[in-house]
Amino acid sequence: MIKKIIILTALLIGFNSNLLAVIDTSYTDHLKPFDWNPISDSEKITQYENQKTLTKRSIQQAAKGKEHYESALKHMKNKEYSSAISEFETAIKRYERAKLSADGLNYLYLNMALSYSNSGYPKDKAEAERLLSLLTPKIYDEKDWAYNAAIAHYQVGKANDATKILSKIISKNYSYFQAYVTLEAIYRDGENDSQADRVNDRMISAEEKYFNKKKKSKKEKVETIVKDVSQETGKKPDITKIVPIRKVKLKDFLNNKDLDKKKTSQMQSGIENFILGTETLKDRNYNIAQKQLKDAEKVLRKYLSEDGLNYVRGNLAIAYLVTESKRGVGTANKYLRNLTSKLYNNQKWTYNMAVSFYQFAFMSAREDKKNKTRKWNSPKPAENLKTSIKLFQKSISQDKLYLPAYENLIYIFREQGENEKANKLAKNLQKARLKLVSKYSLEDQLLKGGEKHIFRLNLGTFGMFDTPAYLFEEEHVIAVPLDDIRTVYLSGKFYNVDDVKNYQKQMQDKGYDNTFIVAYKNGDEVGFE
């Protein structure tokens, strides 16, 4: 059997037994080559300027530039790169009028370059390359920005420049593991396996150093899986993160099943537009999705019942609400008003509409800019917020282990000052979360909005001469040196409590009498009872 362990050292000690020190790499397992995310840091744009010497006009122009910059970032995060480019262009003009330095403009140039290189148009690569040439050395002093610059260089065909940037990042930040993963992939793609192997070896050494440093640090924060419910703040419902539902048997909702060939063809074209519009919505091309779904509704309302039209109108409401425009809110209202209760027989639709009604309430509630709150007590916002709450509650009753519904509703209760309700719901969230990590597979946990937990078994602390010879036959062995003599050994790698408990019983039968379970979340050790 091949053991999934990484051997770091092998020391020959008394009695010719081998003491193997190994290191856990689970906290880097999730990293994928070329992964990147847009960075904002809008406040940094003016950090290189002497604020005292800026004129009133410069300050005004910089403020307007910031508005366009943040708007561009929003488009960029939604992968609306053409819109992002347009906003970046306006932002740059404003910042140039403010007479900001090249160091300050770095952030705009790099984000704009990434927008061009990801636009999908080959001709845009040249413009991305031009923008990269405008970057000053200052941008490379910040590791996250330097990493994104490396990605941009690679995307425009400058792999050598990308490798130089990534290598420099690693030399300055040994634990920046995403840089290792991407650098190795670039070398692999260039068929330079020897360099790729060196990068991989270097990452393994860095992982060892990082792991041991975390273990020895007295400042390491240890949290518990179960925490004080009053500290559970929840998560704001985010319509941009819901997953539009495409798989619906619309033909089950026909008004008249005796359709001639022409009508059947028309209906089929409506269904195809629905599928296409939903996929476009999923890809966050909202304006196009609106048109496709409107075309679908126009055709399908001739053939489907109101219950069948729910699915088109539900996705249409999402497509308009997600844009956060006043016109979009008004249009979404029309579709939300015509939904029937049939839609809420499905938990996923219930949840999506709960988020949609919250978004509608949020957008229609007047903003109190002074207190940074919303005036929820107006009739329309109050009504739609009430509907949203009811749908979140229904969603929970339909799937008691779907965590985002709990988190969203807790947020709403906190927002409305109903902390008693929030605390009660937080207790139920804890129960659901613990049930997920107790019995369900990793895939099920993630599907239900849970976080990745890894469970291992602490086998005990051993010295040079009392380490069981058969210990290293176990799977996923980790050795954590305490000092020159004593070492803590952990084994196993499980994603739910039931599996690690079964493993614990097996190890106890083998003579390991003092074992206990250790839990990790996102690479950090967390308390476990």
DSSP 66-127: HHHHHHHHHHHHTT-HHHHHHHHHHHHHHHHHTT--HHHHHHHHHHHHHHHHTSS-TTHHHH
The candidate with the shortest Cα–Cα distance to 329, out of 345, 343, 318, is: 318
Query: What are the structure tokens assigned to 451, written together?
Result: 């976080």
pLDDT of residue 4: 30
Cα–Cα dist 243/318, whole Å: 10
**DSSP for residue 42:** G
Higher pLDDT, 405 or 21: 405
pLDDT attached to residue 488:
82
Distance of CA 473 to the CA centre of its chain: 37
Enumerate the β-bridge partners of residue 328. Answer: none
Collect all residues with Cβ–Cβ distance below 8 Å to 239 and sequence separation of at least 6: 318, 321, 322, 355, 356, 359
Instruction: For residue 120, count other CB atoms closer than 10 A to its CB.
Output: 9
Dist. CA 122–CA 340, nearest whole Å:
46
Q: Give residue 436's pLDDT.
A: 85
What DSSP string runs through 260-298? -HHHHHHHHHHHHHHHHHHHHHHTT-HHHHHHHHHHHHH
Q: Which pLDDT band holds residue 422 (cuts at 50, 70, 90)?
A: very high
**How far is residue 344 CA from its own chain's centroid?**
27
Report the CATH architecture of 42-216. Answer: Alpha Horseshoe (1.25)
3-class DSSP state of 22: strand
Q: Torsions phi, psi of 355, nearest 5?
A: -65, -40
* pLDDT score, position 528: 57
User: CA 433, CA 450: separation in Å to the nearest integer?
Assistant: 7
Q: Name the residue among 51, 56, 64 with its Cα closest to residue 94.
A: 64
pLDDT interval class at 237 (50, 70, 90):
very high
pLDDT higher than threshold 70 for residue 519: yes
pLDDT tier, 465 (very low <50, low <70, confident <90, very high otherwise): low
Q: How far apart are the two ends of the chain, measured CA to CA in Å?
A: 32
pTM, 2 dp: 0.54
Is-contact 80 88, C-beta < 8 A? no
Kindly tell me if the per-residue pLDDT of 158 is higher than 90: yes
Least confident span in 62-66, 220-224, 503-507, 520-524: 220-224
* pLDDT tens profile 62-77: 889 899 999 999 999 9
Q: Looking at residue 24, what is its pLDDT?
A: 45
CA separation (Å) from 191 to 95, 168, 197? 43, 21, 11
Judge whether residue 226 has pLDDT over 80.
no
Q: Where are the domains of the chain?
A: 7-26+452-527, 42-216
pLDDT level of residue 478 (50, 70, 90 thresholds): confident
Q: Which of 96, 100, 112, 106 is nearest to 152 (CA)?
A: 112
Q: Is 517 helix (H, G, I), strand (E, B) or coil?
A: strand
Single-letter residue type at 406:
Y
Helices 326-337 & 306-321, crossing angle to 10 degrees?
Answer: 160
pLDDT of residue 31: 81
Confidence of residue 312 (pLDDT cuts 50, 70, 90): very high
What is the pLDDT, as a whole number, of residue 323? 87
Asked whether the beta carbons of 311 and 343 are under 8 A apart, the reply is: yes
**Residue 20: CB atoms within 10 Å:** 17
pLDDT of residue 216: 55
Q: What is the Cα–Cα distance from 374 to 381, expressed in whole angstroms? A: 10
Of 449, 388, 397, whose CA–CA distance to 416 is shortest?
A: 388
Share of the chain above pLDDT 70, in %: 87
**Quick one: average pLDDT of 482-495?**
81
pLDDT at 527: 58
Question: Of 18-27, 70-79, 163-172, 452-461, which gets the smallest average pLDDT?
Answer: 18-27
Rounded distance, CA 237 to CA 123, Å? Answer: 38
CB 352 within 8 A of CB 245: yes
> What are phi and psi for residue 165, nearest 5 degrees?
-65, -45
In the predicted structure, residue 140 carries a pLDDT above the cut 90: yes
- pLDDT over 50 (residue 2): no
Band of the pLDDT at 28, cuts 50, 70, 90? low
Q: How would you classify the pairing of strands 373-375 and 487-494?
A: unpaired
Alpha-helical regions (H) of 217-260: none
- For residue 381, pLDDT over 50 is answered with yes
- Whether residue 313 contacts residue 297, with contact meaning beta carbons closer than 8 Å, is answered with yes
Who wins on pLDDT, 97 or 482?
97
Residue with tokens 């957008």: 363
Residue 105 has pLDDT above 50, yes or no: yes
Q: CA 368, CA 169: separation in Å to the nearest integer?
A: 44
